Structure formats: structure tokens, C-alpha cells
Amino acid sequence: MAELRILSANLWKCDTNQPAWAEKGLDCSVNARAPGVARILDETAPDVIGLQEISARMTELVQESLTALGKDYAVLWGRDTPIWYRADRLELVDSRFAIYDEELPGHEGSFNNGKTKSRTIAVFRVKENGRLFVFASTHLWWKSDNPESKSYQPFSGAARKYQLGILADEVDAFCEKYDCPGYIVGDLNAVYSSEAIQSLLTRGYLHAHDIATAHADETRGHHICGNSGFDLNPDPGTFEQAIDHILCRGIADGTVRNFVRAAPEWYMPISDHMPVYSDIIL
């Protein structure tokens, strides 16, 4: 058996310092935040990483910082949703990248701003035991389907369900082709009770939080960190409010040990999303 750590992190795609930060003597540019990203990856030591909202410049700077720390990850390009992995432990067998369509069949409106909502899928072989697994990183449509929300757009929940269904179909196909388990991670912009998450649970996926045998984090893992500034001491919220998830398919009982959100105080100005990871056995 091999134990691997899989991690998901949305890195807030902002390369330049913002006026509200500069006025406070702060810096949210990619140059200022990249060392923090490298630090959290060094401290959590994942074997596979699904990223969202990462720019080319952030990729370059984080890679440089990780190399300086003695760590090295191979990068599977996926525009805003790439996958990073430890090439010393894993061999890339197959992959796919695609951008979600802007249209939601049967409904008006665009559901992919700047074509940033995408999915990257990889099939890996664990070098130490030959086991295969499918890993997918994704970022779904972000607007609310609550008419009272400032970001309201009708059918947004249906769009997330539709996008996640497309990804699940593709992951299922890879799992069946290679006869192996699968894992979907990412910023789904959907809470546990949403149509999107529940649709995957209904078709047999399991949430890592629900099946973790050692520890299941109960916090939200999301706080204010954007153009106007950041919250240093956010309300931790509840798991039910979380929008960053790890979903599993075709796994054996007891093979997900932890579901953890890495949320040190120093990471608060790095991104509005706290990295989330699980330890899995293959």
C-alpha cells in the first residue's frame, strides 16, 4: 500500500498590487504572495495538487520558491485549473483538459466568465506499487442563484450541476478504462447541500469529509481576501458552508484518512481560499 496526500487550492488570480492594499502599506501582488504559496505547499507536502486561479507568473514564482526549498513538482498544464505532482512518486499515464462551455442548454446567459472555468484530469501510476488513480482539478461557475444576492444570475446552480456532471462523466470514463478509483477536487462554488454536490453523491461519489477515518475538518475554509483587502481573523464558519471539496469514486472502505483545511493565520493575505487536503491509501 502507498499513502498519498492530495490537495486542492484556489490561489486568487491577482498578479498586481491593488490600490486598497497599497493605501494600507500592503502588497497583494503575485511577487508578494508566491512565497506564501510555496511555504504552504512545503509545509503540507502534497503528492498531487489541483489548483484553481493560478496565473503563469504565479506558477513560475512558486516553482522557483519550491526549488529553492528542495522541492520539485511537475506541472500538467490546465490553464486556470492545472495539476501539479511529484514526478519522483507518480508517473503520468493519461490526461485531458477542457474549458466548460459558456452555454447552459435550455437557458439564457453565459456561465463561464473569461473562459476561466475548466477541468483538468490526470491518470497517475504510483511508482512504488503500480496502482493507478484518476485525479481531477476543476473550478465551476461562481454566481449565485439566490435573487437576494448581489451576484445573482438565474440558473447558476443548474450551471454548476451541469458542469460538474460533465466532469464526473469524464472521470467515470477514465476510471472504467483504467479500472481504478477517482478523485475530484476544486473550487466548486457550491455548498454541500447544493444541487451540484448532491448530484454527485447520488451517483455514488463520496465526500472525503464524510468518510475520513482519522480527522474531518468542520470549518468553511473561505474568507475575505480580495481587491479591497483581507480579513485577518475570519469566522471559521462550518463545513456545510464550504465551497472547496474533495469527492471520491470507487474507493475501498477506510482508504481516506484525513480531510484537513490548512488555515494558518499567516496565509490569510495569500488567498480567500484555504488549501484543503486528504490522505488516501492506494
User: Tell me: the pLDDT tens digits for 111-169?
Assistant: 998 889 999 999 999 999 999 999 999 999 999 999 999 999 999 999 999 999 999 99
User: Tell me: the pLDDT tens digits for 33-68?
Assistant: 999 999 999 999 999 999 999 999 999 999 999 999
What is the topology classification, in CATH, of domain 3-281? Deoxyribonuclease I; Chain A (3.60.10)
Determine the pLDDT at residue 211. Answer: 98
Determine the pLDDT at residue 72. Answer: 85
**pLDDT above 90 (res 194):** yes
Q: How far is CA 16 from CA 83, 92, 165, 261, in A?
A: 24, 33, 35, 27
Query: In the predicted model, what is the mean pLDDT of residues 255-276?
Result: 97
List the domain boundaries for the chain: 3-281
Reduced 3-state DSSP string for the chain: CCEEEEEEEECCCCCCCCHHHHHCCCCCCHHHHHHHHHHHHHHHCCCEEEEECCCHHHHHHHHHHHHHCCCCCEEECCCCCCEEECCCCEEEEEEEEEECCCCECCECCCCCHHHCCEEEEEEEEECCCCCEEEEEEEECCCCECCCCCCCECCCHHHHHHHHHHHHHHHHHHHHHHHCCCEEEEEECCCCCCCHHHHHHHHCCCEEHHHHCCCEECCCCCECCEECCEECCCCCCCCHHHCCEEEEEECCCCCCEEEEEECCCHHHCCCCCECCEEEEEEC
225 closest CA partner among 279, 267, 163, 277: 267
Q: What is the mean pLDDT of the chain?
A: 97
Determine the pLDDT at residue 35. Answer: 96
**pLDDT above 90 (res 277):** yes
Determine the pLDDT at residue 114. Answer: 84
Determine the pLDDT at residue 161. Answer: 98
